[in-house]
Amino acid sequence: MFYYLAEFKELFFGLNIFRYITFRAGMAALTTFVLCLILGPIFIKKFKSLQIEEKAQRDDCPQLNPLHRSKDGTPTMGGIFIVGSILLAALLWTDLTNHYVLLTLLSLVWLAVLGGVDDYIKLTQKGKHRGLRARLKLRWQLILGLIIGVYLHSSPNIHMTLDIPFLRKALLDIGIWYIPFAILVIVGTSNAVNLTDGLDGLAIGCVMMVALGLGILSYISGHLKFSEYLFIPYIPGSGELTVICAAILGASLGFLWFNSYPATVFMGDVGSLALGGSLGAIAVFIKKELLLVILGGVFVAEALSVILQVMSFKLTGKRIFKISPLHHHFQLSGWNESKVIIRFWIIAIICALLTLTTIKIR
């Protein structure tokens, strides 16, 4: 909305400031942060009255029940006001004709709805199912990834290439295979953030780091001079994603105000699936899919711990970890919950710094 005020700069020169991505990104972050601070208490109170509360005691993970007993009754589905604040900030501060922005918002809403249905089933039919059937959830994630992959493949100005980290101007053209690759990135990131969301503030803190890294990379990728200087593929229009990343960062900070240990609200799948899928989509749009492995190192480790645990148990009947995802393994190893969270945050910060240093290592 405010972006279009720049068109009237002839009437008042000060309106030209709305053209600048950096200004709008800062305002988007501030908008989502303030909105989350305002909406948080309102939604938390409403969740309590509607008994939208976490049932921490689980039959499938009895080892964790003593550690998570205090979480029983904590309101959940806080991702609703995270997603809502991001959408409002996007409406106010982004160029809504930008197809990258529209596709990112599509991913956010699509996965928020999917996660919301999943949360609803968990809360209302806990005795029967722990949320949506895994195959059904995966199917809807795959459809979203397919829509984005096909759109990118059919766009004449977008090349189906992978930017290889550490190598100067190293692009790998994979053609039609880019579609399943894009699906893998979006679905994988969505589920990885969802798996990480198991301790107070853990996932949202790591989301902040990834959003910050992707925001910087988006700005560079959409700036012709910066991208040429750093030997990064120039992607016209991708700079606008900086505003979306800033909105995610601000919303994450605002939500962390309530989600920090001990949490007064959880974001639920409505938040984790939506944020993860959106970050994955942004990485695809700016051709930083491979670099996302480093940037989202915590999410990768969490997802791999689950995959390795399942494979090991099926093939050998033995478990590699005490329990998966990885953060629960450290809990059962005697680490205090706050120590696990802060140490994972530290790793996420290091991963973000390492990612940004790779820009110059070409």
Mean residue pLDDT across the chain: 90
Assess contact for 40 and 258: CB atoms under 8 A: yes
CA–CA distance, 88 with 65 (Å, rounded to integer) = 38
Among left, alpha and beta (phi > 0; psi -120 to 50; other), residue 12 is: beta
Q: How many CB atoms lie within 10 A of CB 34?
A: 14
Tens digit of each residue's pLDDT (9 = 90 or more) over 77-129: 999 999 999 999 999 999 999 999 999 999 999 999 999 999 999 888 755 55
Residue 219 neighbours by CB under 8 Å, 6+ apart: 21, 22, 25, 226, 239, 242
User: With 70 as the cut, is the pLDDT of residue 200 above it?
Assistant: yes
Find where tokens 């007064």 sit: 264
Tens digit of each residue's pLDDT (9 = 90 or more) over 101-114: 999 999 999 999 99
Q: Specify which residues 171 forms β-bridges with.
A: 163
Burial class (CB in 10 A: 0-12, 13-18, 19+), 193: buried
Tens digit of each residue's pLDDT (9 = 90 or more) over 133-166: 889 999 999 999 999 999 998 887 777 888 888 7
**Which one is predicted more confidently, 51 or 143?**
143
Domain ranges of the chain: 2-293
Element (H, E) at 256: helix 241-259
Which pTM was predicted?
A: 0.94
Handedness of CA 291, 108, 83, 327 (dihedral sign): negative
Tens digit of each residue's pLDDT (9 = 90 or more) over 231-287: 888 999 999 999 999 999 999 999 999 999 999 999 999 999 999 999 999 999 999
User: With 60 as the cut, is the pLDDT of residue 338 above it?
Assistant: yes
